């Protein structure tokens, strides 16, 4: 066998070198593959729904069987109707008592009801005099007018008055004039047989009323109010 030259030796070594290196490389690849097999890509969180099929339900319905009545359905209905009816009766009774108490409190008291109508004996009032009585908390003027006063009241030109009203429209009997004694300006009580027209005068703001209770001067806008009244007898007057 002839001796190998340097070039031939190098070529032989290069051909043998991959064969010498391949086993370690294969071993390293196998080791890496084993490690990758050991570290699985699974997560550390385990889902509670794992292993359940699509038809499986995750809702747990409690059992109320021990609360169920052992009686029949008709018996339960009777009891329910009885309780509902009893509650309705009690509610109606409570509402009735509440409304009744409210109406009683809102209604007029006994003293107000007693003053709803006032009876006056006209025979005790002489001609040409005034009498003041209290009716529903307000003063009422009762004037027994003389024939001259009646004539004076009828002689006034109604069209010249601030609140045009004829005397015959304010009285049921010419000799008896009944009015509420409250000034129509600010609610003061006028003074009788005073003023420039011989009737009533309000000293608060200077309103003058004539013998028929009609405003003639001052700030009062209206005549003195005439209440509801009647004469059940010749000498008897009922106001209200």
pLDDT mean across residues, the chain: 80
Whether residue 81 lies inside any domain: the answer is no
Taking only the tens place, the pLDDT of each residue in 15-28 is 655 555 545 545 54
Can you give the residue range of the structural domain that contains 128?
118-239
The pLDDT of residue 222 is: 93
In the numeric block, the tokens 């007018």 are attached to 145
Residue pLDDT, tens place only, 166-198: 999 999 999 999 999 999 998 889 988 888 888
Residue 43 domain-assigned (yes or no): no
Question: pTM above the 0.85 mark?
Answer: no
What's the rounded Cα separation, in Å, for the pair 208 and 189?
Answer: 12
How buried is residue 230: exposed, middle or buried, by Cβ count under 10 Å (0-12/13-18/19+)?
A: exposed
User: In a 3-state reduction of DSSP, which class is residue 131?
Assistant: strand
Active site residue 205: yes
Strand order in the sheet with 207-209: 191-192, 200-202, 207-209, 215-217
Say yes or no to pLDDT of 151 above 90: yes
- Tell me, yes or no, whether 132 lies in a domain: yes
How far is the C-alpha of 201 from the C-alpha of 207, rounded, in Å?
A: 6
Q: Which CATH number is 165's domain given? A: 2.102.10.10
Is residue 149, in this structure, part of any structural domain at all? yes
Q: How much is the pLDDT for 14?
A: 63
- Whether 23 is in a domain gets the answer no
* Mean pLDDT computed over 137-149: 92
Query: Residue 97, SS3?
Result: helix
The total domain count for the chain is: 1
Q: Examine residue 137 and state whether it is found in any structural domain, yes or no.
A: yes
- Kindly state whether residue 227 falls inside one of the protein's structural domains: yes
Shortest CA distance to 174 belongs to which of 133, 146, 215? 146
4: tokens are 């190998």
Residue 201 in tokens:
């005068």
Report if residue 21 sits inside a domain: no
In sequence order, the β-bridge partners of residue 138 are 135
List all residues 6 or more positions away from 194 whose beta carbon is below 8 Å from its beta carbon.
200, 201
- Residue 55, classified by CB atoms within 10 Å of its CB into exposed (0-12), middle (13-18) or buried (19+), is exposed
Q: Which of 144, 185, 205, 208 is catalytic?
A: 205
């Amino acid at each position: 066998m002839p001796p190998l030259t340097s070039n031939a030796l190098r070529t032989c070594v290069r051909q043998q070198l991959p064969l010498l290196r391949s086993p370690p490389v294969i071993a390293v690849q196998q080791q890496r593959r084993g490690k990758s097999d050991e570290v699985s890509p699974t997560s550390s969180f385990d889902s509670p729904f794992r292993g359940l099929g699509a038809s499986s339900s995750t809702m747990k319905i409690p059992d109320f069987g021990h609360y169920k009545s052992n009686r029949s359905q008709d018996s339960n209905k009777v009891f329910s109707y009885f309780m509902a009816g009893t509650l309705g009766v009690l509610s109606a009774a409570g509402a009735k008592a509440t409304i009744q108490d409210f109406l009683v409190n809102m209604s007029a008291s006994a003293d107000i009801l007693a003053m709803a109508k006032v009876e006056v004996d006209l025979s005790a009032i002489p001609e040409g005099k005034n009498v003041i009585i209290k009716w529903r908390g307000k003063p009422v003027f009762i004037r027994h007018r003389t024939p001259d006063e009646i004539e004076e009241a009828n002689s006034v030109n109604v069209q010249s008055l601030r609140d045009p009203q004829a005397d015959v429209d304010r009285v049921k009997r010419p000799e008896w004039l009944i009015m509420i004694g409250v000034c129509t300006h600010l609610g003061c009580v006028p003074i009788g047989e005073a003023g420039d027209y011989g009737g009533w005068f309000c000293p608060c703001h200077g309103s003058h009323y004539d013998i028929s209770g009609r405003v003639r001067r001052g700030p009062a806008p209206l005549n003195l109010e005439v209440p509801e009244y009647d004469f059940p007898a010749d000498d008897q007057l009922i106001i209200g």
